[in-house]
Chains A and B, each alone.
Chain A
Amino acid sequence: MHYVLSVDDIQKRFRSGPREIQVLQGIHLYVRPGESISLRGASGSGKTTLLNIMARMEDADGGTIHWGEREVTAQRSSRLARVRARHLGMVFQSYYLVPELNALQNVVLAGRIGGMKRKEALDRARELMGLVGLDEREHHLPTQLSGGERQRVAVARALVNRPDVLLADEPTGNLDETTGDLIMDLLLKVCQDQQAALVLVTHSRVFAARTERQYELHAGTLHEVGAETSED
């Protein structure tokens, strides 16, 4: 079976003074091309940490990570930068758009960081701005956009390099219910359109239920909802 993202036996501990907290204990997760997966769990259960480890934005204390066929566990973060840009897209709860750039420029920037030529990045950004329904607002600064619009720009930005996987960390966390619904619709639709797998971290059972596979992170271990045994 071909996986676009797989993690095996991931361990992560945090030290808090003399105490050591085991946040992740032997996590296994395999993401197939184009599928959608949700991770749920209580606050502090390690969802975001797991997502960061998958993206190699944070180091694990044990286990292996593969992006497609490439094992990236031990690779230096600086070497992985470009690979990450092309393989993974990321959407965050707080959007994190560059405030000095307008919506279109934010999307183009991600393409340029990913190694695209200016024209290619611009064409791709315009295509995605149309896809997320913001082609009329591409010259607006982030401060001139609503929360939902900013998150749509963030989704377009995450997809500009045609990643295999989109990692979304509570993308609806800062939005009202209606806007959250719209963003969720958008994420599922564009991931399907762009044939990107979606790994969604969310508190919402409703949003989680809309993904193909759902997992819950509890006491450092990952359990697939509806399956009899945990994924590991």
Chain B
Amino acid sequence: MPWFLYLALKQLFPSGKRFGSFFFWASTLGVALGVAVLVVVQSVMGGFGQEHRDRMVKLTGEVVIDGNGRPFYPAAAMGPLSERDDVQAAVPMANGMVMVMYRNIPVFPQIVGVDPTQADGYGWDSFMKQGQLSALYDDSVAVSRTLADQIGVGIGDYIEVYSPLMLEGLKQDEVILPRELEIVAIYDVDWYENMVPGLIVTLRTMQDLYELNDAVHSVQVRLKPGSSEIDAVQELNRQLPLGLRALTWKQRFASQLWVLDFEKTMMLFINLFIVAVAVFAIAIAQLLNVVRKTREIGILGAMGARARELVIQYCFQGFCIGVIGTTVGVVSAVLILTFRNPIIDVLTRATGSYDTLVQFYFFYRLPVHYTVQDFVVIISSALLLSTLAGLIPALRAARMRPAEALRTEA
């Protein structure tokens, strides 16, 4: 091993000190804390993002065919879809907004019409808390838990539904008779209210409410595992008749995904400041170390040490602190993430914020998702910054003339 690397290690782990120098452990702790926070925050943010993505795909499928807001007959879309062998299910949907009255309380939820005979194709069974999607009939409705709680209804209750077309009839002094629907299921998507329909009815009921005849607003397509939604959408867009378009779920939720990615990137950026603070602490500690060892640096110069060897010596110390600090930080983060749910449980119950967590974040457990890329960015940033932390003191050490260094009073 070159002498300057050996001396760098000896200064971190001096002879006679089994556990290394205080400077080493203080600096290492700083990097470890920074890296641990970065990994935990990035993984949890990744987890939130992944949960949202899963819900998006589960709610709409990987591919959606729509008529740019205009109703269309599903056969136009089903033709090209039936020729594809990567399609697992393709189910029609109609959607819109209605007014619901229950005990004179009006609410205006989004409504979706589905074909209950193809319930499996929608993949919504896991959302159903009471009842089944397949149990829907033309005069029944499934209600979201949020809406059910809001108006105080349960299974077996009846609600009155007014469509916008019925309300339009009011202008012509028509007598409006609302559609009375029995609640046969209650579902919960655990997601933001404006992203989830409040009511699910049969496709026929929805077509009646919106006077769509046999038309629909979209066809939701689920692909077989491993299939590429981008390829599917490109091919479908070539085959679909004019006026219809295919979108990937990412295109459909582009703005929401952008927000999620932006949040994650911003968190990484903000948390990098934590590492930067740790690195700044290392730089200061190293600088003090260099000042304290000015005469020693002078004597190394007098013995024939070259400037670049002194630079490498102090940068290598920063690198070693970075390697060990990053390792400790990653291991700590993995431990924290492994035991995150008991930790969150204890913290939220102790602070009385458990219900708030569930209400606002919709997660009963803390989701975690990380990619190799996350780790590569965090580890390489921490190592680079730690190594650079040694650079300024190293350059100071290297610039000293041996005689000047030996004359210092430090």
- Chain A residues at the B interface, C-beta cutoff of 8 Å: 52, 55, 57-58, 77-78, 81-86, 90, 92, 94, 96, 98-102, 105, 109-110, 112-114, 141, 157, 161
Q: Which of B15, B298, B303, B406 sits near A101, CB closer than 8 Å?
A: B15
**What are 14 A-to-B residue pairs whose CB atoms are below 8 Å?**
A78-B308, A81-B301, A82-B304, A92-B406, A96-B296, A100-B10, A100-B11, A109-B6, A113-B303, A113-B304, A114-B303, A114-B304, A141-B16, A161-B304
Q: Is the pair A52, B15 in contact by a Cβ cutoff of 8 Å?
A: no
* Cα of A92 to Cα of B299 in the assembled complex, Å: 9
* Cα of A39 to Cα of B296 in the assembled complex, Å: 25
User: Please, which residues of chain B bring their CB within 8 A of the CB of A113?
Assistant: 3, 300, 303-305
Binary flags per residue of B1-37, CB closer than 8 Å to A gives 1, else 0: 0110011001100111000000000000000000000
Q: Nearest chain A CB to B16's CB is how many angstroms away?
A: 6
Q: Which residue of A lies closest to B296 (CB)?
A: A98
Question: Taking the complex as formed, is B295 at the interface, i.e. its CB lies under 8 A from any CB of chain A?
Answer: yes
* Cα of A83 to Cα of B298 in the assembled complex, Å: 16
Chain B contact surface mostly: helix
Most B CB contacts (10 A, CB to CB) among A78, A82, A100, A102 go to A100
* Cα of A92 to Cα of B296 in the assembled complex, Å: 12
User: Please, which residues of chain A bring their CB within 8 A of the CB of B298?
Assistant: 96
* Cα of A82 to Cα of B10 in the assembled complex, Å: 22
Q: Nearest chain B CB to A84's CB is how many angstroms away?
A: 5
The answer to whether residues A52 and B403 also contact, given A81-B305, A82-B306, A100-B15 and a CB cut-off of 8 A, is yes
Q: Is the pair A96, B403 in contact by a Cβ cutoff of 8 Å?
A: no
Q: Is the pair B15, A102 in contact by a Cβ cutoff of 8 Å?
A: yes
Q: Which residue of A lies closest to B306 (CB)?
A: A81
* Cα of A112 to Cα of B2 in the assembled complex, Å: 8
* Cα of A129 to Cα of B401 in the assembled complex, Å: 29
A55-B302, A58-B403 known; 17 new pairs, CB 8 Å cut-off, are A52-B403, A57-B302, A57-B401, A78-B306, A81-B301, A81-B304, A81-B306, A86-B304, A94-B295, A96-B406, A98-B7, A102-B15, A109-B3, A109-B303, A113-B305, A114-B303, A141-B16
User: Please, which residues of chain B bring their CB within 8 A of the CB of A141?
Assistant: 15-16
Question: Taking the complex as formed, is B307 at the interface, i.e. its CB lies under 8 A from any CB of chain A?
Answer: yes
User: Please, which residues of chain A bring their CB within 8 A of the CB of B301?
Assistant: 57, 81
Total A-B Cβ pairs within 8 A: 76
Q: Nearest chain A CB to B316's CB is how many angstroms away?
A: 15
* Cα of A55 to Cα of B340 in the assembled complex, Å: 62
Binary flags per residue of B160-196, CB closer than 8 Å to A gives 1, else 0: 0000000000000000000000000000000000000
Question: Taking the complex as formed, is B322 at the interface, i.e. its CB lies under 8 A from any CB of chain A?
Answer: no
Question: Taking the complex as formed, is B61 at the interface, i.e. its CB lies under 8 A from any CB of chain A?
Answer: no
Which 7 A-B pairs rank lowest in CB-CB distance, beginning with the nearest? A85-B304, A100-B14, A112-B3, A58-B403, A96-B299, A57-B403, A52-B403
Q: Nearest chain B CB to A23's CB is how many angstroms away?
A: 13
Question: Taking the complex as formed, is B402 at the interface, i.e. its CB lies under 8 A from any CB of chain A?
Answer: yes
User: Please, which residues of chain B bring their CB within 8 A of the CB of A77?
Assistant: 401
User: Please, which residues of chain A bring their CB within 8 A of the CB of B305?
Assistant: 81, 113
User: Please, which residues of chain A bring their CB within 8 A of the CB of B2?
Assistant: 112
User: Please, which residues of chain A bring their CB within 8 A of the CB of B303?
Assistant: 84-85, 90, 109-110, 113-114, 157
Q: Which residue of A lies closest to B10 (CB)?
A: A100
Q: Nearest chain A CB to B394's CB is how many angstroms away?
A: 15
* Cα of A81 to Cα of B398 in the assembled complex, Å: 12
* Cα of A113 to Cα of B301 in the assembled complex, Å: 10
* Cα of A98 to Cα of B402 in the assembled complex, Å: 15
Q: Which residue of B lies closest to A118 (CB)?
A: B1
* Cα of A141 to Cα of B6 in the assembled complex, Å: 16
User: Please, which residues of chain B bring their CB within 8 A of the CB of A55?
Assistant: 302, 402
The answer to whether residues A105 and B15 also contact, given A96-B406, A113-B3 and a CB cut-off of 8 A, is yes
User: Please, which residues of chain A bring their CB within 8 A of the CB of B299?
Assistant: 92, 96, 98
Q: Nearest chain A CB to B279's CB is how many angstroms away?
A: 24
* Cα of A94 to Cα of B304 in the assembled complex, Å: 18
Q: Nearest chain A CB to B13's CB is how many angstroms away?
A: 8
Q: Which residue of A lies closest to B12 (CB)?
A: A100
